[in-house]
Structure 1
């Protein structure tokens, strides 16, 4: 069975490093993931199947995914604001589908999520969140931060936070490219606004 352009790996097919990656993905999201993580047969959706296809790279990606998910000093709400901004800027339907759900669990309102999906900046964001989303959009557009945006992020999150925000933005930008190039499908989704393209 295919998952976009890749074989769709069932749990029974996995060996060695693949099993470790699979277990790590399930552990990251827990028993009640906020978005469809597997199909009924246990095959992973989204970029996680690609990690299984190339486990030498996939193990490193899975570790980076875990790090940007829980190993940074960025507040969870800020992290999800940045991820939704990337998903919207890159028209990444899977990222949008998954992370609008995650965003709701960390306090973003429906109105804030809809605004980010429209590439707008919600007026309800505080100064630190506004600095983060403006920096993420600059990184995606210009591959750079001007002095004012850098200073705003550093004032809000510190030196480590600047590095973490750049890494977070780059990781989800990379995932958007991976999802699109491999034609990764989006699990069945109820209406919710935001990007609708493949991946």
Structure 2
């Protein structure tokens, strides 16, 4: 995809109205900006990835941004568990931006190249711990069937507990929403993806 295929305006910070600028500042000045494994903006300050699409409707975009920040920085899922889940969703939906971004985050969270290769083909790595393998099993079921059968639900709840399972289900829904937004608005990979 090229930049001119975008369906939404790609605005520099000085082109944003007050509501969009407040959302922009929350994204780049929040946890994501402090912990970025990849650049959130291009050289002109324009937001990359799903963050740019959030500016289209700033009130709902602010809620989406806050949910994403909560799921990334304030859940009881470990960094590895979270990235296993995100990448499983991203690969299932062929969400190039999320794969690109979260492979970078996953490496920082300790996932190996071999583990990333297994995730690319939809497989849980043999090196995953028991809870990590259960995270992958739950996500695989959710993206394939849109549900958890009784056995998968019980195994997920036993391994993760109710709260972590609830966080995981919410995380899957959130990243599926981002995959849809990225696809609909034709958001490309960054022009200089090696950050």
Q: Find the counterpart in structure 2 of residue 64 from structure 1.
A: 67
Q: Find the counterpart in structure 2 of residue 52 from structure 1.
A: 55
Q: Is the 8 A contact 2:33 2:40 kept in 1?
A: no
Task: Kindly indicate whether residue 104 of structure 2 is the aligned counterpart of residue 101 of structure 1.
Answer: yes
Q: Is the 8 A contact 2:32 2:69 kept in 1?
A: no
Q: TM-score, normalised by structure 2?
A: 0.92
Q: TM-score, normalised by structure 1?
A: 0.90
Task: Kindly indicate whether residue 7 of structure 2 is the aligned counterpart of residue 5 of structure 1.
Answer: yes
Partners of 1:32 and 1:141 lie apart in 2 by: 31
Q: Find the counterpart in structure 2 of residue 114 from structure 1.
A: 117
How much does 1:20 deviate? 2.2
Number of residue-to-residue matches in the alignment: 190
Partners of 1:134 and 1:24 lie apart in 2 by: 34
Q: Find the counterpart in structure 2 of residue 21 from structure 1.
A: 23
Question: Where does structure 2 lack aligned partners over 5 or more consecutive residues?
Answer: none
**Segments of 4+ moved more than 4 angstroms:** none
Q: Find the counterpart in structure 2 of residue 197 from structure 1.
A: none
Deviations 1:58-104 (A, max 9, x none): 01111111111112111111000000001111111000000000000
Question: Where does structure 1 lack aligned partners over 5 or more consecutive residues?
Answer: 191-199
Q: Is the 8 A contact 1:86 1:169 kept in 2?
A: yes
Partners of 2:184 and 2:43 lie apart in 1 by: 25
How much does 1:21 deviate? 1.5
Q: Find the counterpart in structure 2 of residue 168 from structure 1.
A: 171
User: Bigger shift: 34-43 or 149-158?
Assistant: 149-158
How much does 1:139 deviate? 0.6
Q: Is the 8 A contact 1:17 1:59 kept in 2?
A: no
